[in-house]
Homo-oligomer: A and B are copies of this chain.
C-alpha cells in the first residue's frame, strides 16, 4: 500500500494508492464514522463500481445511494439539491458519511454537499477518473459551476481519506484518460523538472497506457499536489501555481458551454497558451514549448484554443476568473520548465493582443 499524507494539522488525511484498494473493506470502514453512508455517484460509474464498493461496506451500516447525471454541464446548484433531497428523505444525520464515487464532477459536488449538509459531515473520496485521482480528489476544493463562471460556488472542505485504485482506470475512455494526463504533466511544469523529464521519457508508455508507469505518475502527482496544498490550503499564495493553464482553460470551457471540452482538454490548450506567453516574457524557449506540444499531441490533447473565440470573449471570461483581484488578472506562467511564476502586472493590452493572435472571430 502506498500511503501519502496531506499535512493540514487537524484536517490532515491519508491518500491510499493501490491496486484493489476499492475492495479493502477494513481500510474503508475504518474511515467511516457514524452508522450511515450516502454513496454519491453518477449514472456512468455506478453500474461499473457501485456494487463492489457497497459490498466493501460493513453490512450493519445504513447505506443510501444517489446517482447524478454524468457531465460537467450537470455540475449545478440544481443538481446539488438532489443530494440534499436524498440525504433528508433517508434521515441522514450529522454523523453520516458522504462517499464520492466518480470523477471530478461527482467529487466536487459530493464534497460541497458534505461541506454544506447540516453544516458539514464526514467525507470520503473514491476517484474513478485519472483527472480526479491526480487532481480534484486531493486538496479540498469543492463546488459547482454557475452559468457565468466555473466553480464559482463552493467551499474548501477536506475529505477524511482518499482511496485511489489505478485498476478502475481500465474502463476509462481514451479521451478522459488523456484529459487526466494534462494535469499530470502540469505538476512537472510548475514544480518538478525531474518529473517532467521522466514524463517525456515515458511518452510512449503513456500512449500505451502502461499500468506501472501510470501508477508511478499518479503517486508523484498526488505527492506534488499534497506538498503544495499543505503549504497553502486556501490559496492565499503558492497554491495558485496549480492553476497553470486554468484561467485560459476556464474561459474556453465557459465560452464553449460546459461539457463540450473536457476540463483537462481545456487545461491542455491553456497550458500551451501560458507557455507561449512565457516565451514572450523571455523566460522559456520556443523549443521548450514545441517539446511540450509534442507530448500533449502524442496524447491526442488539444494544444490551441478554439478559433471562434473573439478577443472580447476571452476578456469577458478571464476577468470573471476567481484569480482576478481588484480588476488585476493573476496569471500563472513559467519562469522555466519546472518552475511556475505568478504574474499580476501584465498590461491588459498585451494580453488582449496575445489572445487576438489565436482568434479568427
Residues from chain B with Cβ under 8 Å of A35 in the complex:
326-327
Q: Given the complex, which residues of B lie within 8 Å of A91, measured CB to CB?
A: 319-320, 324
Contact: B118 with A152, CB < 8 Å?
A: yes
> Contact between A95 and B152 (Cβ–Cβ < 8 Å)?
no
| Interface residue stretch chosen among A14-22, A143-151, A168-176, A338-346 | A143-151
Q: B93, A324: Cβ atoms under 8 Å?
A: yes
Contacts of A112 in B (CB 8 A): 116
Number of copies: 2
- Whether A153 and B94, one on each chain, are in contact in the complex, defined by CB atoms closer than 8 angstroms, is no
| Smallest CB-CB A-B distances: 9 pairs | A88-B148, A93-B324, A118-B322, A119-B154, A116-B153, A35-B326, A95-B325, A94-B322, A119-B156
Query: What 1/0 mask marks residues of chain A from 110 to 124 whose CB sits below 8 Å from any chain B CB?
Result: 001001111110000
Whether A119 pairs with B143 at a CB distance below 8 angstroms is yes
Beyond the given pairs A116-B155, A117-B153, A119-B322, 19 more chain A to chain B contacts, judged by CB atoms under 8 angstroms and listed by A's residue number, are: A34-B325, A77-B77, A77-B81, A77-B84, A85-B146, A85-B148, A88-B152, A89-B148, A93-B322, A94-B322, A94-B323, A94-B324, A94-B325, A95-B326, A117-B152, A118-B154, A119-B143, A120-B234, A155-B155
Interface string of A315-355 (1 = CB under 8 A from B): 00001101111110000000000000000000000000000
Instruction: State in angstroms the CA–CA spacing of A112 and B155 once bound together.
Output: 10
- In the complex, what distance in Å separates the CA atom of A320 from the CA atom of B91? 6
Shortest Cβ distance from A112 into B: residue: B116
Complex CA–CA separation, A119 to B88 (angstroms): 24
Q: Tell me if A250 counts as interface (CB < 8 A to partner B).
A: no
A112 CB to nearest B CB, Å: 8
In chain A between 92 and 130, which residues have their CB closer than 8 angstroms to a CB of chain B? 93-95, 112, 115-120
Q: Which of B81, B95, B156, B324 contacts A120 (CB 8 A)?
A: B156
Q: Which residues of A in the span 273-295 have a Cβ within 8 Å of any Cβ on B?
A: none
Q: Are B152 and A84 in contact (CB under 8 A)?
A: yes
In the docked arrangement, what's the CA distance between A91 and B116, Å?
25
10 contacts between A and B (CB under 8 A): A84-B152, A88-B146, A88-B320, A93-B325, A93-B327, A116-B143, A116-B153, A118-B154, A119-B143, A155-B155
Q: Are A84 and B146 in contact (CB under 8 A)?
A: yes
- Find A153's partner among B84, B153, B156, B322 (CB 8 Å cutoff): B84
Contact of A88 among B88, B118, B149, B156 (CB under 8 A): B149
For A81, A91, A153, A155, which residue has the most chain B Cβ atoms within 10 angstroms? A153
Interface residues on A, range: 35 or more
Residue A141 lies at the interface, judged by CB distance under 8 Å to chain B: yes
Residues of B within 8 A of A116 (CB): 112, 116, 143, 153-155
Q: In the complex, A116 Cα to B77 Cα: how many Å?
A: 11
Q: Which residues of B contact A95 (CB under 8 A)?
A: 325-326
- Shortest A345–chain B CB gap in Å is 17
Q: How far is the CA of A152 from the CA of B81 in the complex (A)?
A: 11
Cα of A15 to Cα of B297 in the assembled complex, Å: 58
Q: Which A25-39 residues have C-beta < 8 A from chain B?
A: 34-36
**Nearest opposing residue in chain B for A324, CB measure:** B93
Closest to A93 in B: B324
Q: Which residue of B lies closest to A322 (CB)?
A: B118
